[in-house]
A and B are shown apart, each in its own frame.
Chain A
Amino acid sequence: MALEVPALARRAEAVVLVAIGVLAVLFWATLPARLPSAADDTAAAQAVAQEQQPGDALLLHPWWTERARLFLPEGVPVVGYLGSDRADLEQAPRIWVLSQPSLPYAGSSAFWDAFRPGRTLVGEERRFGTYRLSLHRNGRYRPTLFSSLEAFGAARAYVESSPGVKKLDCVRQGKGFECPGTPAHAWPVWRDVAAEPRRCLSLSPPGGTDRLVVEFPEGAPAADRLSLEVGVVWEWAVYPGLPTVRAGVEDGHGAPLAEVSVAAGHTGFTRALHPDLAPTGPLKIWLSCPRADSRETCVDVRAQGPAAGGGT
């Protein structure tokens, strides 16, 4: 009896080691067959190129399979970032999904659980080697009637010492604005907000109680809703102990339409919605934070039409 425990353990050890060895060899032997070939790349790219429509987006699954950027048609924005499975992609009426479900830990069911609500499969899923390509109508799509990014060319920027009291004009330099004597600026650029790449207005506050204002003289038309999204960019979002960033949208009469506060440590976009938007007249986006440094902010304002159906 005394020697039975180690003997049993020795047998179990031998069985487990042999089993792991066999499984490990099988893993490496089968891995190449789980990866796409150059021919698969070409076939998938051709299928998208032949059927693409303006406004289409292509979503990657798993999110990190960005090699697809090399060969997919340039006209279709490729979306793949940590968390993109849940992205609404509100600007895309149709979404292509280029999936590689046979990759280890691809997490296909979790992906489809996050992706499917509000989306309708168009036609059949196609297979190109290890790729699965499918086209979906995006029920979360909302037509964009006004975009702060697209309207930025006609905008002006200035610093206010308090709401409605202009302190100084910012100067257009290149594609953005610099505000002389302050760290404040406004640029249309790609920014990383909690891993999501977003082309937005990158606004930096002047500091203190002043606020940076970007004004759009044409304003936004009547819309189903106005959306304000604000996120502190990159790792500055998680820096501890920094003051809260506040941002808002006002109409031509100075009436607030939407406002958000982003506290230190908050990652990702914070969103505020204003339903049943009436024509705004001149539209103002403002940003303020007691500290100017490390509070660079990605701001995206849109006036949107109604959701195509099933949207959030």
Chain B
Amino acid sequence: MSGEALDRRVGWGLFAAAFLALLFTQQGVGFTRDESVYFSAAESYARWYQLLLRAPTTAVTEASIDGHWTENDEHPALMKTLFGWSELLFSRTLRVAPGPMGLRLPAFFVAALIPLLIYRLGRRLSGSGGRQAALFAAISFFCVPRQFFHGHLACFDIPVAAMWLLTVHAFVRAQETPRGWLWAGAAWGLAIATKHNALFMPFVLAPFSLYLAWKHTRGRPGADRFFQWYVGAHAGAALLMSLLVIFLGGGPNAQARFLLLSPHTAIILGGLGASGWCLWRLRKHSEEAFRALATLTAMELFGPLIFIGSWPHLWHHPVDNIAGYLAFHAQHSNYTWFYLGRLLREPPFPLEYVVVVTALTVPTSLLLPMVTGFASTAARALASVWGRARAWAPPASWVEVLVLTHAVTSIAIISHPDVPHFGGVKHWFPSMPFLAILAGRSADRAAGQLHAWLSRRRPALSRRAVAVGLFALLLLPGAWATARVHPYGTSSYSELAGGVPGAASLGMQRQFWSNNVTGVLEWINQNARPGERLYLHEVNGYSFRDYQRFGMLRADIVGVGGPQDATMAAYQYHQEFREHELDLWEAFGTTRPSYGLYVDETPQIVVYRRR
């Protein structure tokens, strides 16, 4: 079997293993506060597509679109649409996916792409000898308990990490294949149609496009001229657009003042047209430079088309609705977060927060190779620009620098003290596949070093055997932690944190958020009186409904909105919500719980009954 064929098999094997692992462990994974909202939106969107098939002219009216697509209009529609179609097909039509599985299947599929893509990008990075490094990197991604947990959810954080990785992979491929630039543009379109994080991607891809184009046009006057014109067309469009924004008064809502048929549209279309012409001419002089820049133009073209095309909510009033979408995320509220014994409520947040939380949640045996892999590659990248240092180690390639850049991008964005900090680690997931790739290189390098030592005593020992042993040693703790904490992944902490109990002593957030209630549902089902009035603290109405319709909570139990109306309650332990537990003590006349979910001793969900 050729190396390429073997890589293909390994890649798809990783995909299949990840998909099946998520599929067979999804039962018991509770609904986070947002997931049931997405369930509801997904079902609404699927109903619209059914209407589109039955009565297309009715479906595309503004009233019909508003009726079906207004639900959860703060996030793009791609993943929710897939969740809805999947539920329609696998749960309602074929009846092969019970409970929430039908809604979650697309999430498993997209999540399973991550090991496949890590492997492929890792192979590309490491060349002929990098199969082991890429394999370690791919497996390690889901040996991080929180990443494994989030892989189950019909949400967007793992999907956007997958789409981000897909876009970077396509960007690299685009430099090597004639039509790769088209796929890179489409990949970014899928990314921004998944979650708004991906809007930052052009800022960390464009410099590489420009660098590559510059490299390929340097010393070639014909090519260089069209490269400069291409840059000039973009700069001109950006300048004109900036002037328009200033004339319109500036400020965060300037976009809302745009009109569809206006100078703004003309500037965008003019810029795109000029870029296209430059590229057409450039290709005659340098195919490589064309590929480098065409990826950018493809992103500019296909990104908005896929984003708007997949989201009917934007169709009738694209400018207003996009402005509303961007404004929602630019002005997102802060949720309180317990961090090293203090409650973080509002900016400025600690600059080191993201790095510290990553260190306390990623298994230490994976964190360390991430750090060493990052440090060694960064050192080589820096050494590349310092002549004397080039003698110490081979210079870093542009793909290595690309991986480094994307390993820090999401972490750097969320680290800004004014960016809302909530949601645990999920908001910087797009960095994690790239850190995994760097970890793989470190682990593989360590395996080579170990082999060099051990083979002096046991010459028969193969490098592969040493690598298998070392990789198992490094991956086992993460897999162990994942199995131990599942399905309460948002409670997980690393060995450095002392596990879940150590993190409680350090004063870290216990859970995020709402899903751990599945740990007490069985007890409630067994002990609740008929028609018991149950208050599930911090579980929203959508989730309560879903627990009942999916058979996880008895249907006769009545959900109520607070302790005063309840005869039984499940409190979610959050430091910022202690007042809510005290309300239960007061209303129920007791401080003694009846039952609880305690993960390695730490209170997570505490059940009380009225005296």
Taking Cβ atoms with an 8 Å cutoff, the residues of A that contact B are 2-3, 5-6, 9-11, 13-14, 16-18, 20-25, 27-28, 31, 34-36, 62, 64-67, 69-70, 74, 77-78, 81-82, 100, 103-107, 189-192, 195, 197, 233-235, 238
* Interchain Cβ contacts under 8 Å between A and B, 7 examples: A14-B445, A17-B442, A18-B450, A27-B477, A103-B501, A104-B505, A235-B345
B87 contacts A by Cβ under 8 Å: no
CB contact between B596 and one of A10, A20, A70 (< 8 Å): that residue: A70
B318 contacts A by Cβ under 8 Å: no
Tell whether, in the assembled complex, residue B506 and residue A105 are in contact, meaning their CB atoms are under 8 Å apart: yes
Which stretch in B33-41, B53-61, B363-371 binds the other chain? B363-371
Q: Which residues of B contact A74 (CB under 8 A)?
A: 592
Question: How far does the alpha carbon of A6 sit from the alpha carbon of B383 in the complex, in Å?
Answer: 12
Question: How far does the alpha carbon of A233 sit from the alpha carbon of B586 in the complex, in Å?
Answer: 15
Tell whether, in the assembled complex, residue A82 and residue B473 are in contact, meaning their CB atoms are under 8 Å apart: no
Contact with A along B246-271 (1 / 0, CB 8 A): 00000000000000000000000000
Chain B's closest residue to A31 (CB) is: B499
Q: Which residues of B contact A6 (CB under 8 A)?
A: 392-393
Question: How far does the alpha carbon of A176 sit from the alpha carbon of B598 in the complex, in Å?
Answer: 35
Measured as residues with beta carbon below 8 angstroms from the partner, the interface class of chain B is 35 or more
The 9 closest A-B pairs by CB, nearest first: A104-B498, A104-B502, A24-B477, A21-B473, A190-B582, A14-B449, A14-B446, A105-B505, A192-B579
Given A25-B477, A82-B575, verify A100-B596 contact (CB < 8 Å): no
Q: Which residues of A contact B501 (CB under 8 A)?
A: 34-35, 62, 103-105
Tell whether, in the assembled complex, residue A17 and residue B481 are in contact, meaning their CB atoms are under 8 Å apart: no
Known A20-B368, A24-B495, A62-B505; further 9 A-B contacts with Cβ < 8 A: A14-B446, A14-B449, A35-B501, A36-B601, A65-B601, A74-B592, A105-B502, A105-B506, A189-B586
Tell whether, in the assembled complex, residue B498 and residue A105 are in contact, meaning their CB atoms are under 8 Å apart: yes
Question: How far does the alpha carbon of A235 sit from the alpha carbon of B578 in the complex, in Å?
Answer: 10
Q: Which of B561-582 contact A (CB under 8 A)?
A: 575-576, 578-579, 581-582
Q: Which residues of A contact B498 (CB under 8 A)?
A: 103-105
Tell whether, in the assembled complex, residue A22 and residue B598 are in contact, meaning their CB atoms are under 8 Å apart: no
Tell whether, in the assembled complex, residue B603 and residue A103 are in contact, meaning their CB atoms are under 8 Å apart: no
**CB of A254 to closest CB in B, whole Å:** 33
**CB of B6 to closest CB in A, whole Å:** 26
Q: Which residues of B contact A234 (CB under 8 A)?
A: 579
Tell whether, in the assembled complex, residue A69 and residue B593 are in contact, meaning their CB atoms are under 8 Å apart: yes
CB contact between A35 and one of B442, B449, B600, B603 (< 8 Å): that residue: B600
CB contact between A69 and one of B341, B365, B592 (< 8 Å): that residue: B592
Q: Which residues of A contact B1 (CB under 8 A)?
A: none
Question: How far does the alpha carbon of A100 sit from the alpha carbon of B602 in the complex, in Å?
Answer: 12
Tell whether, in the assembled complex, residue B579 and residue A70 are in contact, meaning their CB atoms are under 8 Å apart: no
Question: How far does the alpha carbon of A195 sit from the alpha carbon of B574 in the complex, in Å?
Answer: 11
Tell whether, in the assembled complex, residue B368 and residue A2 are in contact, meaning their CB atoms are under 8 Å apart: no
Q: Which residues of B contact A18 (CB under 8 A)?
A: 446, 450, 470, 473
CB contact between A28 and one of B448, B495, B582 (< 8 Å): that residue: B495
Q: Which residues of A contact B585 (CB under 8 A)?
A: 190, 197
Question: How far does the alpha carbon of A234 sit from the alpha carbon of B575 in the complex, in Å?
Answer: 10
Q: Which residues of B contact A66 (CB under 8 A)?
A: 603, 606
Chain A's closest residue to B507 (CB) is: A82
Q: Which residues of A contact B593 (CB under 8 A)?
A: 69-70
Tell whether, in the assembled complex, residue B470 and residue A17 are in contact, meaning their CB atoms are under 8 Å apart: yes
B504 contacts A by Cβ under 8 Å: yes
Q: Which residues of B contact A20 (CB under 8 A)?
A: 364-365, 368, 474
Tell whether, in the assembled complex, residue B480 and residue A28 are in contact, meaning their CB atoms are under 8 Å apart: yes
Question: How far does the alpha carbon of A104 sit from the alpha carbon of B600 in the complex, in Å?
Answer: 11
Given A13-B442, A27-B499, verify A67-B591 contact (CB < 8 Å): no
B126 contacts A by Cβ under 8 Å: no
**CB of A9 to closest CB in B, whole Å:** 7
Given A27-B499, A192-B582, verify A67-B474 contact (CB < 8 Å): no
Chain B's closest residue to A71 (CB) is: B592
**CB of A271 to closest CB in B, whole Å:** 21
B384 contacts A by Cβ under 8 Å: no
CB contact between A191 and one of B345, B499, B507, B582 (< 8 Å): that residue: B582
Q: Which residues of B contact A17 (CB under 8 A)?
A: 365, 368-369, 372, 442-443, 446, 470, 474
